[in-house]
Amino acid sequence: MQKNIQAHWLLPAVINQSKIILETYYKIKGVALFDVDYSDEYKSYLLYHAPFVVVSHGTEADPVFNYANMSAQQLWKIDWEDFVKLPSKYSAEAERMEDRQRLLDTAARQGYVDYYRGIRISSQGNRFAIENALLCNLTDAAGQRVGQAAVFRNWTDV
């Protein structure tokens, strides 16, 4: 899967995306995923190597993933370079894309959806159920919407 292990978490864009994800999570949940006194670089490292899944996509008409931590890469069986080129709709089976889009639209309107459950598919066609997922809008320091992220700890093969 991981062709060439690189320190993706040290890229300025990844550090910034990690910061946005962590700040959004804190605003919604009221609890930080990591100690807030850590440097942005170290928090980026921790998020990238976390034992839970974190993915995000941008605001394109057909959103493309722009972040996938190691847990996500392993679950979807796809490395960083390919993950961040993948339209996020392909994380769901074709017959489930409409349900996925409704979820994204609901999160866009409400700001987030918590405790989401759904079926997703890996790059190799393996199906898995995600549970208790948080799907949320991401905003930058200026308050501009820059995408959506999903965070979840529970999944099972189906």
Domains in the chain, CATH or no CATH each: 8-157 (3.30.450.20)
Q: How many CB atoms lie within 10 A of CB 158?
A: 10
Q: Could you tell me which residues come within 8 angstroms of residue 55 by beta carbon, excluding any fewer than 6 positions away? A: 65, 67, 68, 69, 72, 88, 91, 149, 150
pLDDT band for position 14 (50/70/90)?
very high
pLDDT digits (tens, 9 = 90+) for 105-149: 999 899 999 999 999 999 999 999 999 999 999 999 899 999 999
pTM for the whole structure: 0.92
Q: Is the pLDDT of residue 38 over 60?
A: yes
Give dist(CA 17, CA 85) in Å, integer: 16
Q: Could you tell me whether strands 154-157 and 127-139 are parallel, antiparallel, or unpaired per DSSP bridges?
A: antiparallel
Q: Is the pLDDT of residue 4 over 80?
A: no
Give dist(CA 152, CA 124) in Å, integer: 21
Give dist(CA 94, CA 12) in Å, integer: 34
Phi, psi for 104 (deg, rounded to 5): -60, -40
